[in-house]
């Protein structure tokens, strides 16, 4: 009774959760501004879309993907053998357990009419599958300990899932081992299947089971007539019971618990463990949509969707957004992307986790779900997003087949819309002199430059630029100057930046466009007859500028009201985030 109720409860929670997640895909919208269609429209989009694809020739590709990516998990194999091994063990071990054991009465019994969980080979297989899962979990755990090069990819939900799995299996084994030694169960079965209380008849069987099946009885059976016991066994039990030895794990476990067997029998540990085992199973089932378990559904779906639709169907369309939502859910946070990310090394210098794709994706997901992140978080995401070179390696490597590129672009777009563009973007919101004014108003006396030592102080040590003889060759060769559009505010030329520094007008130098427009082609530096490190200085200034301008760029740091309203299209956004 309790069993059925809790089972169906868990099941319904699970289904409801899954539905929620799927509905979530249909509700996701990166930007409140752009309309992505009603919920119904999106849901129908999902189904019609899937139907269209499934009915098209693409079905073949999907099938292929199913075999290659889902059954054989080739992408994981590319990510590393042990990853693959662990994942295969857990995946197949567990799936087979579910089919052969959990759903034994339905599936197994269908194929083998005289199926009984205590018969071989089922008993042996169950142990085998259980062992596989445990082994997989072990490998995975070890792998995680070994792998974390830059960061800890392992999240809490990650550990929870592994823990639950382990618990299910271990509790199963414990249960079985206790059942092996359990006298009460023996008695009950005898009652059920022999229907006699005559100890004369019972005892031989009892003796036989005590000897051959290692059941532990409180009082020794009087008769030791094993032949009779065997015949009785043949008649009544053999049909459903193989020798416990083949349940290699549980059996050895049962030998371990042997000494406490009597006590265990007395407290009916078998029953308790039985409840625990199934309890955990149901919990896991109920949690499936809300934990990493969900990737059992989202990843295969995503891999197949990718096979069916390709990386990104029609960028910007509601269905595409839905698609992106699915992809975000397909992330197992395995960290493979971060391991192969081409800008990940920057993380060593700028400790901003949002540089790492696996971490950035979580922020982007929050953005996508319209979460209001605080200013500092948004700045971190912005920094991480705009350091990304979209080199495509993450997308290529992702075992879940997520097209991260698309997500990054979408994320950048959202950041820009929320007024968190890259420095090259926001530095243009003010002109050189406006920046200078702001810096003047909020001076900080911390040393100007805390960036890479390589460029350190190039912009602050007069010896680096005071050798200038004002020949203006640096300006003459500068491609940025040559390309400058006459309608822009006066471009401060490289020579003029040097002079601003010499004139001790650092604030003007920092705000100047040239610092940002410089393409670091090094022509100026190579041509300077005095060997002044013009480009290095500009580069240094750029690094300083990020540090110095960032804090004063928001109107909140505005000292008097006029500030820069005119250059501030997103005034409202700013006020709420800052």
State the number of binding residues for other proteins (CB under 8 A): 40
- Tokens 């401060």 belong to 492
Q: Is 134 in the site for other proteins (CB under 8 A)?
A: no
How far apart, in whole angstroms, are the C-alpha atoms of residue 24 and residue 326?
9
Does residue 526 belong to the site contacting other proteins (CB under 8 A)?
yes
**Minimum CB distance to other proteins, residue 427 (Å):** 15
Burial bucket for residue 170 (CB in 10 Å: 0-12, 13-18, 19+):
middle
- Tokens 């016991």 belong to 229
Give the nearest distance from C-beta 29 to other proteins in angstroms. Answer: 40
105 binds other proteins (CB under 8 A): no
What whole-number distance in Å separates Cα of residue 434 and Cα of residue 564?
8
Considering only residues 487, 560, 566, 576, which one is a binding residue for other proteins as defined by CB under 8 A? 487
Q: Say whether residue 503 binds other proteins (CB under 8 A).
A: yes
Of 41, 114, 87, nearest in space to 319 by CA: 41
Question: In angstroms, what is the minimal distance from the CB of 424 to other proteins?
Answer: 20
Question: What beta strand segments (E) does 474-522 contain?
Answer: none
How many other C-beta atoms are found inside a 10 Å radius of the C-beta of residue 429? Answer: 18
Among 78, 409, 527, 570, binds other proteins (CB under 8 A): 527
Which residues are CB-neighbours of 195 under 8 A, at least 6 positions away? none
Least gap, CB of 439 to other proteins (angstroms): 13
CB 42 within 8 A of CB 27: yes
Residue position matching structure tokens 């004063």 = 552
Q: Which of 118, 499, 550, 578 binds other proteins (CB under 8 A)?
A: 499
CA 371 from chain centre, in angstroms, equals 18
Among the listed ranges 9-17, 89-97, 504-512, 566-574, the one in contact with other proteins (CB under 8 A) is 504-512
Cα 48 to Cα 13: distance, rounded to the nearest angstrom:
26
> Any idea what DSSP says for residue 325?
H
Residue with smaller CB distance to other proteins, 100 or 523: 523
Contact 398, 404 (CB under 8 A): yes
- Measured from the CB of residue 477, what is the shortest distance to other proteins in angstroms? 6
Is position 486 an interface residue for other proteins (rule: CB under 8 A)?
Answer: yes
List binders of other proteins among 395-454 (CB under 8 A): 431-433, 436
**Residue 443: both structure tokens together:** 């001076």
Angstrom distance (rounded) from CA 21 to CA 27: 10
Which of 490, 519, 556, 565 touches other proteins (CB under 8 A)?
Answer: 490
The gap between the terminal CA atoms of the chain, to the nearest Å, is 56
469 binds other proteins (CB under 8 A): yes
Task: Indicate the burial class of 454 (C-beta count within 10 angstroms; 0-12, 13-18, 19 or more).
Answer: exposed
- Measured from the CB of residue 30, what is the shortest distance to other proteins in angstroms? 36
Tell me how far, at minimum, the Cβ of 555 lies from other proteins, in Å. 20
**Alpha-carbon span 494 to 515, nearest angstrom:** 8
Write down the least CB distance from residue 437 to other proteins, Å.
9
Note whether 178 and 270 are within 8 A (CB).
yes
Q: Does 492 bind other proteins (CB under 8 A)?
A: yes
Among 242, 472, 550, 578, binds other proteins (CB under 8 A): 472
Q: Tell whether residue 89 is a contact of other proteins (CB under 8 A).
A: no
Contact pick of 291, 413, 476, 550 for other proteins (by CB under 8 A): 476
Residue 464 near other proteins by CB under 8 A: no
Would you count residue 471 as binding other proteins (CB under 8 A)? Answer: yes
- Of residues 329, 303, 286, 295, the one with CA closest to residue 24: 329
Q: Which is nearer to other proteins, 221 or 494 (CB)?
A: 494
Q: Are 281 and 102 in contact (CB under 8 A)?
A: yes
Binding region for other proteins (CB under 8 A) out of 79-87, 184-192, 320-328, 486-494: 486-494
If one asks whether residue 500 binds other proteins (CB under 8 A), the answer comes out as: yes
Please, what is the minimum distance in Å from the beta carbon of residue 493 to other proteins? 8
Using CA atoms of 154, 157, 159, 161 in order, give the dihedral in degrees to the nearest 10: -130
567 binds other proteins (CB under 8 A): no
Nearer to other proteins among residue 203 and residue 507 (C-beta): 507
Q: Is residue 521 a contact point for other proteins (CB under 8 A)?
A: no
Other C-beta atoms lying within 10 Å of the C-beta of residue 124: 16
Q: Which stretch binds other proteins (CB under 8 A): 97-105, 338-346, 395-403, 463-471?
A: 463-471
Residue 60 or 471: which CB sits closer to other proteins?
Answer: 471
To other proteins, the closest distance from the beta carbon of 292 in angstroms equals 50
Query: Can you tell me the distance from the alpha carbon of 384 to that of 371, in angstroms, rounded to the nearest whole number?
Result: 18
Is the N-terminal amide bond of 121 cis, ω within 30° of 0?
A: yes
Work out the angle at residue 349's Cα, subtended by the Cα atoms of residues 347 and 352, and round it to the nearest 5 degrees: 45
- Part in contact with other proteins (CB under 8 A); list of ranges 57-65, 280-288, 413-421, 476-484: 476-484
By CB under 8 A, is residue 484 in contact with other proteins?
Answer: yes
User: In whole angstroms, how close is the CB of 525 to other proteins at the nearest point?
Assistant: 10
Interacting residues with other proteins (CB under 8 A)? 431-433, 436, 462, 466-473, 475-477, 481-482, 484-490, 492-493, 495-496, 499-500, 502-505, 508, 526-529
């Amino acid at each position: 009774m309790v069993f059925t109720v809790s089972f169906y409860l868990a099941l319904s929670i699970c289904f409801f959760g899954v539905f929620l997640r799927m509905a979530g895909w249909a509700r996701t919208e990166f930007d409140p501004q752009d309309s992505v269609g009603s919920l119904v429209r999106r849901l129908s989009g999902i189904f019609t879309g899937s139907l269209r694809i499934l009915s098209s020739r693409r079905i073949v590709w999907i099938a292929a993907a199913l075999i290659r990516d889902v059954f054989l998990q080739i992408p994981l194999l590319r990510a590393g053998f042990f990853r693959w091994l662990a994942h295969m063990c857990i995946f197949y071990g567990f799936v087979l357990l579910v089919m052969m054991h959990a759903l034994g009465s339905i599936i197994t019994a269908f194929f083998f009419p005289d199926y009984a969980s205590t018969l071989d080979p089922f008993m042996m297989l169950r142990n085998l599958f259980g062992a596989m899962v445990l082994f997989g979990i072990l490998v995975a755990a070890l792998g995680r300990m070994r792998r974390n090069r830059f960061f800890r990819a392992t999240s809490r939900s990650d550990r929870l899932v592994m823990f639950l799995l382990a618990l299910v299996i271990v509790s199963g084994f414990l249960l079985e081992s206790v059942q092996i030694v359990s006298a009460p169960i023996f008695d009950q079965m005898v009652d059920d299947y022999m229907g006699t209380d005559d100890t004369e008849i019972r005892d031989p069987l009892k003796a036989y089971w005590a000897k051959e099946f290692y059941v532990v009885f409180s009082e020794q059976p009087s008769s030791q007539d094993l032949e009779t016991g065997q015949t009785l066994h043949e008649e009544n039990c053999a049909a459903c019971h193989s020798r416990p030895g083949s349940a290699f794990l549980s059996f050895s476990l049962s030998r371990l618990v042997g000494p406490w067997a009597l006590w265990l029998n007395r407290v009916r540990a078998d029953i308790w463990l039985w409840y625990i085992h199934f309890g955990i199973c149901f919990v896991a089932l109920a949690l499936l949509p809300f934990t990493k378990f969900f990737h059992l559904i989202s990843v295969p779906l995503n891999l197949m969707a990718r096979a069916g639709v390709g990386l990104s169907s029609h960028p910007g369309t509601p269905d595409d957004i839905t698609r992106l939502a699915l992809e975000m859910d397909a992330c197992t946070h395995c960290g493979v992307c971060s391991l192969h990310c081409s800008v990940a090394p920057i993380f060593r210098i700028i400790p901003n986790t949002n540089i790492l794709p696996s971490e950035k994706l979580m922020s982007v997901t929050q953005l996508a779900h319209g979460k209001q992140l605080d200013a500092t978080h948004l700045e971190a995401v912005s920094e991480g997003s705009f350091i990304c070179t979209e080199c495509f390696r993450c997308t290529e490597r992702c075992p879940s087949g997520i097209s991260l590129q698309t997500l990054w672009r979408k994320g950048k777009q959202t950041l820009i819309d929320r007024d968190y563009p890259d420095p090259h973007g926001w530095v243009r919101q003010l002109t050189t002199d406006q920046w200078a004014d702001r810096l003047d108003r909020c001076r900080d006396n911390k040393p100007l430059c805390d960036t890479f030592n390589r460029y350190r102080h190039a912009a602050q040590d007069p010896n680096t630029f005071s050798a200038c003889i004002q020949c203006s060759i640096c300006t003459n060769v500068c491609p940025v100057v040559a390309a400058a559009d006459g309608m822009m505010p006066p471009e401060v030329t490289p020579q003029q930046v040097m002079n601003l520094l010499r004139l001790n007008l650092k604030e003007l130098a920092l705000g100047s466009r040239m610092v940002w427009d410089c393409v670091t082609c090094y022509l100026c530096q190579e041509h300077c007859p005095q060997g002044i490190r013009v480009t290095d200085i500009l580069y240094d200034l750029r690094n300083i500028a990020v540090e110095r301008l960032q804090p004063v760029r928001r109107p909140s740091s505005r000292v008097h009201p006029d500030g820069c309203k005119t250059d501030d299209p997103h005034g409202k956004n700013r006020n709420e985030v800052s």
